[in-house]
Every structure is written in C-alpha cells, then in structure tokens.
C-alpha cells in the first residue's frame, strides 16, 4: 500500500517527519489513542489523500509542551483532501470528491450532533464530549499533517466542493474552512457582530485575522485588532482593520482614540490560555486571564464575548498551580455587573462551513490573502512550526501530495 509520512510531536519545541501506517477502516493503538477506542471499526469512514493541511496555533500549544501530548502524536486537524477510498458503510461521498474536513469529529447520531453542536459530539471520544484529529485527549484519531488520513462518519463530516476545477482554483481559501475561518466566524457571531457593530479582536494570529475578516463579512462598521506583534498588525491593516499595539499600553485608551469612546459593542478573544499581559513590549509576562478581563472592561454593557481562543484543563507549563488546571483569575464580577454574555468552546464547524464556502466560491471574501496563507512542503513543516512560533504573520499550509502550486 502507498507510503504515509506524517508530522509528529516529539518533545517540547520539536516536531519531526515520521513514517506511519497507511490508514485502514479501524482505529489502531498508537500515541494518544484512548484505550476504549482501540480496535474501533470505521466502516462509515473515508480515506483522504491530503490536498492541504494547515499548521494551527492549537498545534503550537502542544509543540511548546503546554499540554499533556505524548511523543509521536501525529499532528494536524485542518484538513482538505481528495477521497481515495470509502468504507462499506459510506453511501453518498464518492472516490474523487474533493472535500473540506471539519476539525471536529462528530458522529451525526447523538443528541448534540442532532442539535448542531458538533464540537461536543458524545460518541467519538471516551474521555469527554468533543474530538479533533491529531489532538491530545481527543480520543486518539490520527492527525492529518500526513499524505493520507482516515475520516470517520464520512457522509456526515465531509463538506464536498461542488466543482473540482473551481475548488482547485480557490483551494488556498477553501483550505481555511476546516478550522480557522469558521472558528473566527463563530467568535464574531457569538460576540453579536452585525451591521454597524464596533468590534475588538484580541490577537492578530490567523484565528484573530479570520475573526476580523468575518466581522467585515457580517457588516461591522469598525474592526479593531490588538496584538504585540507589528508584522501581524500590519497584516490586519492590509484588509481594512484598525489596529492597536499593546506594547504601547492597554486597549481602552487606544480604542478611545479610534472610536471616541473607550469601549466596543463586541469582543473576541482569539488568543487563549497563553496570553501575555499588555504594556510590557515583547518581554510581556504570561498572564492567562489578561485578555478575558480586558475584554470585559472594554465591551459595552449588555454586549457579548466570543471566545474561540483555546483554554485547556491541563497545562504543565502554567504560570501557577491554578493555571496548570485551567483555573484563571477572572473578574467575573465585572462581567456580571455589565450583563455580558460569554460563548466558549470548539467552534461547531458544520454550522458555518457551507455558507462560508459559498462566500469564497462567489468572491465575497479573500480569507487566504487576509491570513497571508503560504504553501510549504511536508518536509518543511518543522521550519514552518519554528517560524510560526517566532511570530511570523503567515498561515502555513502543508502540501503533502503536490496538489498546491
């Protein structure tokens, strides 16, 4: 059978290209596979030849050693691919289809899936609701930074692109549908962004830029992006965002300079648990709740916070014992006093990916340009991880099988 190379986490700061088995329609034992999932039959699955598979900030948390990920865990949950084989239980997806793979693995059969809460499927991860490819504590489904990957419940999970030639013309944009574009959109929607909104997005990494893009798509009047990284802020300005440099002070006074008032209608946290305090330049110390607390300060009373940034329950590198368990010093009193709403958790990708696909195919949005997507080879993945970790204003898209020009 065809060979299969994959990007694996080795130890903090190190990823490596390794040889792994070609997928079969069974979940086998391996690094990070939940014992209760070993031997699980997947007749409803499809084997995908990877067209594009992206490096995500969530992968970076694992690679920094900030999770309990085991060595040799195959990475990658942002997958776009061509179907090369289907299991006997697959009815509608066909060999040759080019599809986006939502990063959430969902069964389509449980109560949550039926309610469109595909980020917290009850049947795919024996540990807790919700699963993703190539991610710690998510059941052990093998990651997609590889030549080939198994997608379970293929008829349910896969979003087929209507026309192959049209899809390949816009493939760098469509590659963002597996995670960051729906995730950013979910952050904006759950923050209540609509026509005329003023929006603050904390973080100018790819998810922050996707949230800002989404806010524009939803009709926001002003989209402000805050970060410590000038290259990433420049990227935000390239598609019409206002920006604030948090190395020069807190967000409230800089927002006031833009809007005339020190508050916004809607706030989005696209940073997550490795947040650093503002006002201290690039040597800012990690302060995990700093973004959430500042968002509560600057979001208008009655407003909402969308929190697509990742927070974990196990962080070996946490700044204190509480942070190691995901317990943060939140100013919940501020949120209560201002009647703020919060939405956290995995984005239910299927809730949005078809509409966003149509927006891409009909030229309503240029997400790849906005996040500065760049294709690199599978062999260059370690270099891509290192550059992304160093703050490159780039969304790295791996090209394992040569589909991308």
pLDDT at 10 over 90: yes
Rounded to an integer, the average pLDDT of 373-393 is 96
pLDDT at 277 over 80: no
In a 13 Å sphere around the CA of 357, the CA atoms on its Cβ side amount to: 26
Q: What count of other Cβ atoms lies within 10 Å of the Cβ of residue 71?
A: 12
Residue 328: CATH number of its domain:
3.40.50.720
Task: Give the pLDDT score at 320.
Answer: 81
Is 245 in the same domain as 155?
A: no
Share of the chain above pLDDT 70, in %: 98
Is 107 in the same domain as 202?
A: no
Kind plus residue range of the DSSP H or E element containing 125: none
Rounded to an integer, the average pLDDT of 326-333 is 86
Both tokens of 69, joined, read 């990920």
Are residues 269 and 201 in contact, defined by beta-carbon separation less than 8 angstroms? no
Is 129 in the same domain as 142?
A: yes
pLDDT at 303 over 60: yes
- CA 146 to chain CA centroid, Å, is 18
Is 234 in the same domain as 326?
A: yes
Cα dihedral sign for 213, 228, 398, 99? negative
Is 173 in the same domain as 195?
A: no
> What's the pLDDT band for 272 if we cut at 50, 70, 90?
confident
**Number of helical H runs and strand E runs in the chain:** 15, 18
Is 215 in the same domain as 119?
A: no
**Residue 183: closest CA among 214, 157, 154:** 214
Is 197 in the same domain as 278?
A: yes
pLDDT at 281 over 50: no
Cα dihedral sign for 204, 171, 352, 24? negative
How many domains does the chain contain in total? 2
Rounded to an integer, the average pLDDT of 268-286 is 71
Mean pLDDT of the chain: 94
Residue 35: CATH number of its domain:
3.90.180.10
Task: Give the pLDDT score at 280.
Answer: 42
**Strand boundaries in 134-238, DSSP class E:** 148-151, 159-160, 198-202, 222-227
**Phi, psi (rounded to 5 degrees) for 82:** -105, 130
pLDDT at 174 over 50: yes
Q: Tell me the per-residue pLDDT of 15-65, one tens digit each, with 9 for 90 and over.
A: 999 999 999 999 999 999 999 999 999 999 999 999 999 999 999 989 998
Is 78 in the same domain as 213?
A: no
Q: Are strands 98-101 and 159-160 parallel, antiparallel or unpaired?
A: antiparallel
Is residue 362 in some structural domain? yes
> What's the pLDDT band for 245 if we cut at 50, 70, 90?
very high
The C-alpha atoms of residue 299 and residue 305 are separated, in whole angstroms, by 8
Is residue 404 in some structural domain? no
Task: Give the pLDDT score at 227.
Answer: 96
**Phi, psi (rounded to 5 degrees) for 47:** -100, 130
Rounded to an integer, the average pLDDT of 169-174 is 98
**Residue 309: closest CA among 394, 202, 193:** 202
What three-state secondary structure class fits 230?
Answer: helix
Task: Give the pLDDT score at 276.
Answer: 74
> What's the pLDDT band for 285 if we cut at 50, 70, 90?
confident
> How buried is residue 14: exposed, middle or buried, by Cβ count under 10 Å (0-12/13-18/19+)?
middle
First and final C-alpha spacing in the chain: 26
Task: Give the pLDDT score at 284.
Answer: 66
Task: Give the pLDDT score at 279.
Answer: 46
Point out the domain boundary residue: 300, 319, 344: 344
In a 13 Å sphere around the CA of 39, the CA atoms on its Cβ side amount to: 2
**Phi, psi (rounded to 5 degrees) for 254:** -75, -35
Q: Tell me the per-residue pLDDT of 338-379, one tens digit each, with 9 for 90 and over.
A: 999 999 999 999 999 999 999 999 999 999 999 999 999 999
Q: Which domain holds residue 235?
A: 180-344
Q: Tell me the per-residue pLDDT of 59-109, one tens digit each, with 9 for 90 and over.
A: 998 999 888 899 999 999 999 999 999 999 999 999 999 999 999 999 999
pLDDT at 224 over 90: yes
Is 58 in the same domain as 110?
A: yes
Task: Give the pLDDT score at 273.
Answer: 80
pLDDT at 115 over 50: yes
Rounded to an integer, the average pLDDT of 271-298 is 76
């Amino acid at each position: 059978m065809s060979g299969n190379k994959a990007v694996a986490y080795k130890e903090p700061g190190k990823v490596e290209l390794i040889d792994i088995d070609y997928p079969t329609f069974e979940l086998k034992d391996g690094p990070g596979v939940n014992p209760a999932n070993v031997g699980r039959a997947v007749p409803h699955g499809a084997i995908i030849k990877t067209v594009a598979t992206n490096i995500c900030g969530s992968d970076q948390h694992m690679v920094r050693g900030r999770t309990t990920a085991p060595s040799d865990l195959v990475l990658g949950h942002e997958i776009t691919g061509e179907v090369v084989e289907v299991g006997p239980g697959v009815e509608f997806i066909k060999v040759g289809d080019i599809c986006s793979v939502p990063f959430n693995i969902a069964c389509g059969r449980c109560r949550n899936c039926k309610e469109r809460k595909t980020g917290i499927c009850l049947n795919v991860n024996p540990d807790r609701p919700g699963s993703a490819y190539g991610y710690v504590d998510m059941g052990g489904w093998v990651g997609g930074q590889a030549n080939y990957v198994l997608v379970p419940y293929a008829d349910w999970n896969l979003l087929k692109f209507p026309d192959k030639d049209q899809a390949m013309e816009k493939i760098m944009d469509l590659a963002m549908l597996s995670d960051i574009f729906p995730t950013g959109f979910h952050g904006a929607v759950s923050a209540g962004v609509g026509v005329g909104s003023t929006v603050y997005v904390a973080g100018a990494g790819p998810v922050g830029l996707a949230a800002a893009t989404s806010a524009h798509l939803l009709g926001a009047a002003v989209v402000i992006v805050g970060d410590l990284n000038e290259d990433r802020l420049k990227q935000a300005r390239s598609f019409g965002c206002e920006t604030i440099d948090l190395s020069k002070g807190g967000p409230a006074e800089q927002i006031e300079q833009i809007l005339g008032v020190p508050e916004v209608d809607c706030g989005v946290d696209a940073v997550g648990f490795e947040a650093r305090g503002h006002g201290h330049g690039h040597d800012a110390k990690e302060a995990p709740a700093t973004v959430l607390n500042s968002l509560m300060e600057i979001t208008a009373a009655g407003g909402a916070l969308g929190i697509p940034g990742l927070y974990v329950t196990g962080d070996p590198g946490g700044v204190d014992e509480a942070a190691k368990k995901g317990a943060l010093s939140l100013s919940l009193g501020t949120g209560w006093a201002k009647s703020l709403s919060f939405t956290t958790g995995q984005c239910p990708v299927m809730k949005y990916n078809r509409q966003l696909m149509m927006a891409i195919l009909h030229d309503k949005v240029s997400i790849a340009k906005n996040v500065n997507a760049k294709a690199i080879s599978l062999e260059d993945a370690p270099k891509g991880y290192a550059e992304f970790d160093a703050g490159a204003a780039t969304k790295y898209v791996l090209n394992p099988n040569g589909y991308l020009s």
